[in-house]
Structure 1
Amino acid sequence: MSEGARQIEELIALMARLPGLGPRSARRAVLHMIKKRAGLMTPLAQSLAEVARDARECLSCGNIGTDEVCAICTNPKRGNGQICVVEDVADLWAMERGRAFGGRYHVLGGTLSALDDVGPDDLRIPRLIERVARDGIEEVILALNATVDGQTTAHYIAGELAPMAREGHVKITSLAQGVPIGGELDYLDDGTISAALSARKSF
């Protein structure tokens, strides 16, 4: 195999590792980029290099951006006493697309899973409890995916926050109607997310 062919095959193999792309889709994508090299592939490569260099997790909530603390966390208008707890950054972005939530977020970075040996300390659950206690949070909205692991995680967090809730310091709610069992936020339309947020219930 020539050097050029090897480089292309390596690129296809890397692309095939992306979510939603298999070997065939990756091959088509790479061929398309090569054909559109000047207008697509070169700018894409530059953008990838910049993101690889500058992207980082927000020190406060776990969102992805280019600053140490993201624009949501630094926006004083978002400091309304509400924190929306999500599993992943993709879920945060899905909530933001709906423009129905005006508070701040906390990205856990996954869900509890005995099968995968993921415990509370492997996620940002201790950090969440600290934020709620320190920042005078009035409501924690558990917007976790309606899966077994998602709901297990939600119940665990609710249990950890229960002492503060019993004392009346914080209200714990969850998304309500519109989120199907087994559904994931990133795949729901904006209207469904807005309805679920508006009709949230005590957890």
Structure 2
Amino acid sequence: MESSIPSKLNTMGFEQICSSENEVTEFIHNLKHKDHCIFVFEDEQIRDKVVNEFINLKTAKNILTACFSTKPEKYDCNHQITYDKLVQEQKLQPIVISDLLLNVLSESYQKDQARIVCEETSWLAENGMFDEHQKMGSEMDEKVFDESTIMCCYNASKLNDAQMDTVLSSRRYIILEKPFSVYEKKDF
């Protein structure tokens, strides 16, 4: 599926702005608050590398990090929660998510220093909560979007075409594993 994504992005009005590993890594390091990007991957090791670059305390000084993850011990995050804690009785728990994120933002860091990563957002699609997650994302407290930098990672092999289209159209920046590149929607 991932090989057709660059042409799909071009059709959707995206333009490639980074095309080498160094450029992509630099882009990840320089994401600012209010930036919310999508990383589309298939290889979990590459995903882990990208996530670790995004939350790397050496390249982004004084950051506070929060991770939604299947195995949070893989990442050096200040706040962590597993996906299974976000679900109760087969329902996504927006209050758990909001509480964690607002707690992160209430700590005494500069506004542009909170970085939030969702390591395997496609887990929600696999568990029948894709639409619920998309709706929740559009209803999230504006403070979360205004005062943080967010990266949501989606495994391309776990989404159908309609879900992938929804994901791609939802954000200004899309980072691809194959080919390793960054796309920006100019009229977002």
TM-score tier, shorter chain, comes to 0.3 to 0.5
Give the number of the structure whose residues are more often strand, by fraction: 2
> Structure 1-normalised TM-score?
0.34
Higher relative contact order (CA 8 A, sep 6+): 2
> Structure 2-normalised TM-score?
0.36
> Radius of gyration: which is bigger?
1
Give the number of the structure whose residues are more often helix, by fraction: 1
